[in-house]
């Protein structure tokens, strides 16, 4: 029974318009944070309506990624809402592989790049659209089997039963 429920949660699929599950995941965040996160969601959906939305309600954050397949490894961008500080990150899963001439992205690891979104008015829409285009092309190039392409789905990939509520203090 538990495995059946877990399977249903991990493979839950819905269309863009069905936001009940996502709204429940976002409920713990303050209204301003929810508003920006949902605005960013619409921004990506409007530009990439055939992409798939992958939702993760995890321990540290609620993350919404977009991919041409159902695989996280093909994700081209994401919105992450951090639980402890309620920061919103707009990120690129393979950000190290795209050009960022405006230097708007943070990060120097092998893969992920992002920017912190504090308000709609400060979000660099023009630069992000250019980065998204390149990130999407890069993501599609990683798909080796064309049968993996699916279109326009919202898929809840995981739901953590335990959620982080406080910052770690570093004390034992």
User: Pairing relation of β-strands 88-92 and 77-82?
Assistant: antiparallel
Query: What is the predicted pLDDT for the residue at 168?
Result: 54
What DSSP assignment string belongs to 41-52? HHHHHHH-TTSE
Query: What is the predicted pLDDT for the residue at 1?
Result: 37
Beta-strand runs (E) in 36-103 = 52-57, 61-67, 77-82, 88-92
Query: What is the predicted pLDDT for the residue at 8?
Result: 35
Residue 7 has pLDDT above 60, yes or no: no
Taking Cα atoms as reference points, which of 97, 69, 65 lies closest to residue 78?
Answer: 65
pTM: 0.83
- Could you tell me the two tokens for 17? 């318009």
CB 124 within 8 A of CB 102: yes
Which residues touch 114 (CB under 8 Å, ≥6 apart)?
80, 89, 90, 91, 92, 95, 105, 106, 107
Q: What is the pLDDT of residues 91-143, one digit of tens each?
A: 999 999 999 999 999 999 899 999 999 999 999 999 999 999 999 999 999 99
Side-chain half-sphere CA neighbours of 7 within 13 A: 4
Query: What is the predicted pLDDT for the residue at 61?
Result: 92
């Amino acid at each position: 029974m538990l495995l059946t429920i877990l399977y249903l949660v991990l493979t839950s699929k819905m269309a863009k318009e069905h936001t009940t599950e996502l709204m429940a995941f976002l409920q713990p965040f303050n209204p301003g944070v929810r508003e920006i996160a949902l605005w960013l969601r619409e921004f990506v959906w409007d530009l990439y309506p055939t992409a798939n939305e992958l939702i993760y309600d995890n321990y540290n954050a609620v993350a919404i990624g977009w991919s041409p397949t159902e695989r996280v490894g093909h994700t081209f961008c994401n919105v992450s809402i951090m639980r402890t500080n309620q920061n919103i990150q707009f990120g690129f899963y393979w950000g190290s592989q795209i050009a960022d001439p405006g230097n708007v992205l943070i990060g120097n690891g092998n893969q992920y790049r992002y920017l912190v979104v504090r308000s709609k008015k400060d979000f660099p829409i023009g630069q992000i659209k250019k980065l998204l285009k390149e990130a999407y092309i890069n993501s599609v190039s990683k798909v080796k089997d064309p049968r993996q392409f699916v279109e326009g789905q919202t898929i809840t990939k995981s739901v953590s039963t335990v959620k982080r509520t406080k910052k770690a203090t570093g004390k034992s």
